[in-house]
Structure 1
Amino acid sequence: MPKSPAEILLEKADKKSNSSTGWFSSSSTKWEEAGDLYQQAANSFRLEKQFKAAGDAFAREAECREKCNELNDAANAWWNAAKAYKKDDPRLAIQALGCTIAHLTKAGRFRQAADREKEIGQIYQHELNDIAKACDSFQRAAEWYDQEDAAATASACRKDAADLCAEVENYRGAIQLYEMVVSYALKSNLTKYSVKDYWLRSGLCALAMKDVGKAQRDIEVFKSKDVTFSSTRECKFLEDICALVTEGDEQAFTTAVFEYDQVVKLDNWKTGILLKIKRSLKDEVDIL
């Protein structure tokens, strides 16, 4: 079977990288030329939809760029490797993104590093279903976005992290993150309208960890921070279900959730945590 164009280019790249340096050429030139050939091979593999092979070739390109100290090009090659690997092997994509991030942070390019760390979080969340690691990556990305004065993007990452913390029942961690998201949202009239949803989520987390007292105390704190909160459906709903959890009234709780859903459609996250709260109604709750 004849070799494909990509395989021919890969052989040329391997031959160049394994060659000895001649009298009239430098080691740096050798690695530059090999890197160019690996890049060409990788792009050819992409055309052939051989994404694992493309990722491997981009990784070899990155190694060549590192050997001739072209670190910006190395970071870009690792990123290209990650994009190719994502098609077939998410774990290799994460490894390649980690190499990209190492170069970006060393160069002080934390905004780009945050973008790549966010990608890692998305792969953990959607491809590998590793919620705890996804949460860690989103929080790390948020810290780097903060350093680059990208407060809105940092807040969005923390909101994603908070939702995921709750999914793995790290409710205290989720509440702390929602508090940080609210602190940002209250600073602007453009984002202030969204705090009622974050406060509802925070209150549901308190109920999910069977701490009705905290949920009730937090409602009063929320009202003090935004006087409009007390008139919202979210506040009324949270107050109602706090009372029903205290009473252990499962039927009334179910009715309250149904009626709220008829007015404000519950998303999957809220539905999931409300089911957890409902299942815990027969257990003892802390009302102090």
Structure 2
Amino acid sequence: MPKSNGEEFLAKAEKKAGSSVGWFGSSSSKWEEAGDLFTQAANAFKVEKRWNEAGAAFEREASCRQHANEANDAMNAYKNAANAYKKTNPEAAVSALHQAIKLLIQAGNFRQAADREKEIAGIYAQDGLDIAKARDSFVRAGDWYKQEDANATANQCYQQAAELSGDMGEYQRSMELYTTVADWSLSSALTKYSVKEYWLRAAMCSMAMGDLVTTQRLLDDFARKDVTFPSTREAKFAYELMQACEEADVERFTGAVFGYDQVTKLDNWKTGVLLRIKKALEEDEGGLT
């Protein structure tokens, strides 16, 4: 059976990479030529829709670029490898991105390292591949963006990390992250309008933990940071939920949720947290009778 274009280029690339350097040649040019051949092999495999082979060829190219001291080209090759692997092999895509991040950090390019880490978070979050790793990658990306003064992008990452923490039932972490997101949002006229949403989510997390003392402290703190907060629908909803929890009144709790949902449709995240709180309330109520 004849070789495909990808296989032919790959064979040439492997031969070049394994060849010895002649009297008048240079090691650097050998690796550059091998890298070019691996690129051609990878692109041919992409045409053939052989994504794993394309990813592996791009990784071989990256190795050649490093031998030739072409760090930027090596970073790009790892990025191309990840893009190919994403089609069929998410774990291999993550591994290639980690290699790119190592080189970016060595070069002091934290902004691009943050971009790659955010990409990793997206791969882990997609289809629930690994929610905990996705959350950790979003936080790491957020920290790097903040370091580079890309505060709006950092905040988006922290917000996604907060949501994933809540999805995992890690309400303490979620509450802390939402508070961080809100504090930054408060400092910008463009994002100030969204603060009440983050504060509501933080308060709901404390209720899901069964810690009403913290809920009260948070609501007092939020009111100090923005005097208009207590008059918002979000604040009134949070206060009503807290009072229903204090009284272990499931009916009052359900009424508050229904009333809020009639005007502002509850999203899946809030619905999940509210169900968790209600379940604990029902168990508490059952224990009292």
TM-score band by shorter chain is over 0.9
* 1:190 corresponds to: 190
Mapped to 2, the partners of 1:128 and 1:4 lie a distance apart of: 36
1:36 equivalent in structure 2: 36
Q: Distance in 1 between matches of 2:128 and 2:155?
A: 24
What is aligned with 2:252? Answer: 252
Deviation at 1:169, TM superposition (A): 2.0
For 1:250 and 1:102, locate their aligned partners in 2 and report how far apart those are by CA, in whole Å: 52
How far residue 2 of structure 1 moved from its aligned partner, in angstroms, is 2.0
CA distance in 2, matches of 1:183, 1:254: 30
Q: Deviations over 1:124-158 (max 9, x none)?
A: 11145311111111111011101111000001111
Residue matched to 2:95: 95
2:231 aligns with 231
- In the alignment, which residue of structure 2 is the partner of 1:104? 104
Q: How does 1:113-128 map to 2 (within 5 A)?
A: 113-128=113-128
Aligned equivalents of 2:262 and 2:193: distance in 1?
21
Q: 2: CA distance between counterparts of 1:233 and 1:61? A: 56
1:235, 1:183 → 2: CA distance? Answer: 16
Superposition pairs for residues 54-93 of structure 1, below 5 Å?
A: 54-93=54-93
- Percentage identity across aligned positions? 56
String of CA shifts for 1:47-70, please: whole Å, max 9, x gaps.
111111100000000011111111
Structure 1: where are the runs of 5+ without partners? none
Q: Is residue 90–residue 128 contact of structure 1 (8 Å, CA) maintained in 2?
A: no
Residue of structure 2 equivalent to 1:275: 275
Q: TM-score, normalised by structure 2?
A: 0.95
How many residue pairs were aligned? 285
Q: Is the 8 A contact 1:90 1:127 kept in 2?
A: no
| Cα drift, residue 284 of structure 1 | 5.1
Note closer, same or farther for the CA distance 1:90–1:82 as it changes in structure 2 (3 Å cut).
Answer: same
1:142–1:154 Cα contact (<8 Å) kept: yes
1:142 and 2:142 equivalent? yes
Asked whether the equivalents of residues 117 and 137 of structure 1 are also in contact (C-alpha less than 8 Å), the reply is yes
Residue of structure 1 in register with 2:213 after alignment: 213
2:129 & 2:57 partners in 1: Cα distance?
Answer: 28
Counterpart position of 1:53: 53
Secondary structure of 1:169's counterpart equals: coil
For residues 138-192 of structure 1, the C-alpha deviation after alignment (integer angstroms, 9 at most, x for no partner) is 1110111011110000011111111111222222212221121111111111110
Q: CA RMSD in A?
A: 1.3
2:4 is matched with which residue?
4
Aligned position for 2:173: 173
For the residue of structure 2 that corresponds to 1:190, the secondary structure is coil
Deviation of the 1:251 alpha carbon: 2.7
Aligned to 1:132: 132
Give me the whole-angstrom Cα distance separating, in 1, the residues matched to 2:216 and 2:284: 17
1:200: which partner in 2?
A: 200
Residue aligned with 2:72, SS: helix
**1:17·1:34 contact (CA, 8 Å) conserved in 2?**
yes
* Unpaired stretches in structure 2, ≥5 consecutive residues: none
Query: CA shift at 1:282, angstroms?
Result: 3.3
> Cα distance, 1:268 vs. partner?
0.9
Tell me whether 197-206 or 249-258 shows the greater mean CA deviation. 249-258
The residue type equivalent to 2:80 in the other structure is N
Q: Secondary structure at the match of 1:34?
A: helix
Query: Under a length normalisation based on structure 1, what TM-score does the superposition of the two structures give?
Result: 0.96
For 1:19-76, what per-residue CA distance to the aligned partner results, in whole angstroms no more than 9, with x for missing partners? 1111111111111100000011111111111111100000000011111111111111
